[in-house]
Structure formats: C-alpha cells, structure tokens
Amino acid sequence: MREGVEWAVHCCIDLSWVSPDRPVPAARLAAFHDLPTAYLNKQLNALGRAGIVSSRSGPRGGFRLGRKPQEISLMDVVTAIDGAAQGFRCTGIRLDGPAGAVAGRAGRRTGCAVERSFREAELDWRRRLAARSVADLAEAVRRADPAAPGRVRRWFDQHGPA
Amino acid sequence: MREGVEWAVHCCIDLSWVSPDRPVPAARLAAFHDLPTAYLNKQLNALGRAGIVSSRSGPRGGFRLGRKPQEISLMDVVTAIDGAAQGFRCTGIRLDGPAGAVAGRAGRRTGCAVERSFREAELDWRRRLAARSVADLAEAVRRADPAAPGRVRRWFDQHGPA
DNA sequence: GGGGTGTTACTCGGATAGACGATGTCCGAGTTACGTGGG
DNA sequence: CCCACGTAACTCGGACATCGTCTATCCGAGTAACACCCC
C-alpha cells in the first residue's frame, strides 16, 4: 500500500471542510501536513484523473472535491492512488513446468483454488473500504473534537493566497 | 503482496500430498513448477522459521510440512513470507506541521480515524485468510480433479533422488 | 469612465533523477549415507 | 560376519549482486487576475 493513500484521504477530509468556492493549492495542503509539495501534487493529480477532486490552474486555482464527501469511498481513493491492480498476482505457476502436465484436463480447466481464496479475501477488504466514505471519517473526527472542522477551515482561510 | 506467497502456498499443497517420511528438496519443488531453485529455497526457509515446514539437511534431506495441513492457514503463510507488517502504514501526518497545532487536545488524544478504517478492512482480509487452510485448498483441487493428488505424489516419487 | 489588451504571477501537469526493497544468484556449513578396512 | 571410521555427495542456510518500483524533484504549459493604455 502506497503512502500517498494516507495523504490523499486526509486531504479529502480537509477539503470537505473548506468552502467549496475556494480551491486550495497543493502547496497549502502540503504545508498544513508538512509534506513535500511536488509529490503531494502528483497524488492529487491522480485523484483528479479519478474525478475525486477537480483542479484549476492559475491564480485562485487549486483543488476542491469533485463530488460530495459522502459519495467518495476509501476504495475510490485507494484505486485512484494505488491503481486497480490486485495485491495478489497469480502468475499461474500451478500449470508451469511438469505441474502442468501432471494436472489433469479437469484441473487445467478450473481456475486456481489459491487465487480464488485470495480474491475472496481481497474482496472482503474492498467491500469494507467501499463502505466507508470521506464524510464518515470527517464525522468521526468531528465527534471526537467538534470544533476541529471550524479550526481547519479558519487555518486555510487565513493562510490562503494573499 | 510478494510473489513468493503464491509459490509457498502451492508448495504446501504439494507437500500435503507426498509421503511425510520422504522430505522433498527445494530443487524438486522448483523443478515441478519451473521456478528458480535458490530463490524458492529462500521462501521455504521463511516457512521453516515460522514452523510451517520442517527442514533437514544432507542426503535424503529436504522439506516437509511442519504440522497438519488443516492447521496451516493462508494467513500463516502470508505472515511467514510477507512479514507481519500491515499494508497500510500510518505515518501520523494528521498531527504533523500546522495540522498538529490546529487539532484540539481532544483530537490529539483519540486515534487516527483514517488508520482505524484501514485497520478494520485489513482485519476482514486477515480473518478470511485465517479461515482458509492448506487442507481446504487441497480438498478443492481434489474435488475438481480427484486423481490429481495421486499423480502429484507419483511424480515426486519417480523424480525423487536416485 | 469604460473597455480592450498586454503583462505578470500563480498553479497544475507531466517528464526527469534517486532510494529502497524485492528478486535472483552464489558459495560455505552441516549432515547423512555409503564404502572400506579392521577385529 | 559385524562394527567403526573415513570419505564423499547432497541439502539447507545465509551472504552477495541486480532489477523494478515507489519516492521525490524540477521545469514547462496553461490560466486567471491585474494594471495599463486607448477611446
């Protein structure tokens, strides 16, 4: 799992708290979390390609959420950053070498049992991530500290472009 | 997910079908699946450290299962090969830079909501893998092709050490 | 005063280096079986 | 014939290169706002 996923999720939560008619530049988000600006920009790019955020160039430009926070799942973010590839890659060694010859015709026809089990597990993981939205996480943070959203929003307003 | 996991699981299934009083050298297992011998040996080493297989040096040496197939879960194998580290690493950016100052004392005390969600998802994944044993997979293969176990066993008997 | 235009500063976006971990390979330590010699 | 010993081959186990991917950085294309000038 790439580290950028954590960054992206936190940025989405932040963006859900600032006024939507005020795009936030990558540099501001990076400064807020003390991250390398250019690299965070790259991650936000990926979010943009997935439609999770929308970007705008030039002065007064930056990023804002591309759709409502409750419509952005953690799975969406992971897919945008890490790609859609599965964690478990079946390279088919089951049928390589003599093993292929030893496996019967019936065995060759059916899928790989190992791959199936790992797919199931990964599906569980995906389902759970798909069930959690950015809005859910933002709500959890707000519950722990009701004033947090306001403070975050104020920080971005004060430290925005001059 | 490292590729060696796939190799390790298939080797465990193979080993569950050969006679336990006949250790199988890494070279034989590698030849069966057309894999690089030395590298597979490395993976089997890791399985050995985890107690999943037991190894023996010298002539007539090799690997055999360290315990019954129904007592080896896929999670055990993954942990042995990939390590116990989590896929999602929380680096704590939530509290780095100005974000730490903006977060209230209450926010600092509670754990990271993002990390919690990813942990939950990963726990689902782990649970599913822990519920599948090598015996389950071997049984699935046998059901698709009842003669497969016998053929595999015969191959290793015939192509064993002279 | 209003409108058009050139300039300027700002931001994203993708192309370009560097670092870390996984992949793949090699050789030495240890162990077992076998052959040999002696009792 | 039985036993002890030396020898030799075989296998694991960990140390050593190589490769790919993630991490990090930089610079150019595009854009919107601003200032200025002309009407």
- pLDDT of A161: 63
Number of neighbours of residue B56 by Cβ within 10 angstroms: 12
B88 touches chain A (CB under 8 A): yes
- pLDDT of B161: 63
Distance B5 CA to D38 C1' (A): 75
Mean pLDDT of B147-159: 93
Mean pLDDT of B53-67: 95
CB contact under 8 A, A102 and B132: no
- pLDDT of A160: 72
Q: Select from B102, B115, B90 the least CA-distant residue to A137.
A: B115
Confidence bin at B13 (pLDDT 50/70/90): very high
Separation between Cα atoms, residue A128 and residue A142, nearest integer Å? 21
Assess contact for B107 and A20: CB atoms under 8 A: no
Mean pLDDT of B12-29: 95
Determine whether the distance from the CB of A154 to the nearest atom of strand C is below 7 Å.
Answer: no
Separation between Cα atoms, residue A22 and residue A158, nearest integer Å? 12
Mean pLDDT of B134-156: 96
Assess contact for B97 and B18: CB atoms under 8 A: no
Average pLDDT over chain A, rounded to an integer: 95
Distance B58 CA to C36 C1' (A): 21
Distance A58 CA to D38 C1' (A): 28
Least CA distance to B85: which residue of chain A?
Answer: A1
Q: What is the pLDDT of residues B70-108, one digit of tens each?
A: 999 999 999 999 999 888 988 999 999 999 999 989 889
A42 touches chain B (CB under 8 A): no
| B93 token code pair | 């950016």
Mean pLDDT of A28-53: 97
Q: Select from B52, B54, B46 the least CA-distant residue to B72.
A: B52
Q: What is the pLDDT of residues A76-93, one digit of tens each?
A: 999 999 999 888 988 999
Give the SS3 label for residue B37: helix
Please calculate the CA angle A123-A96-B142 and round it to the nearest 5 degrees.
65
Q: What is the pLDDT of residues A109-128, one digit of tens each?
A: 999 999 999 999 999 999 99
Number of neighbours of residue A84 by Cβ within 10 angstroms: 7
Query: Which nucleotides on strand C sit less than 7 A from a protein beta carbon?
Result: 9-15, 22-27, 29-33
Choosing among B76, B124, B134, which should be mutated to test the A contact, i.e. which has the most A CBs within 10 A? B124
B115 Cβ neighbours under 8 A, 6+ residues apart: B88, B90
- pLDDT of B32: 97
Separation between Cα atoms, residue B28 and residue A93, nearest integer Å? 14
Q: Pick from A87, A116, A140: which is nearest to B1 by CB? A: A87
| Domains of chain A by start residue, with CATH | 4-85+133-158 (1.10.10.10)
Average pLDDT over chain B, rounded to an integer: 94
Q: Which residue has the tokens 């006949």?
A: B22
Please calculate the CA angle A38-A41-A44 and round it to the nearest 5 degrees.
160
H/E element, B63 = strand B62-65
Top pLDDT among A135 and A19 is at A135
Proportion of chain A above pLDDT 90, given as a percent: 89
- pLDDT of A20: 86
Q: How far is B131 from chain A (nearest CA, A)?
A: 10
- pLDDT of B151: 96
Proportion of chain A above pLDDT 70, given as a percent: 99
Number of neighbours of residue B117 by Cβ within 10 angstroms: 21
Number of neighbours of residue B4 by Cβ within 10 angstroms: 21
Q: How many contacts does A have with B, using Cβ atoms within 8 A?
A: 172
Q: Select from B64, B116, B56 the least CA-distant residue to B86.
A: B116
Number of neighbours of residue B73 by Cβ within 10 angstroms: 19
B132 contacts on A by Cβ (under 8 Å): 117, 121
Residue A162 above 90 pLDDT?
no
**Closest nt to residue B55, judged CA to C1':** D12
Give the SS3 label for residue A62: strand
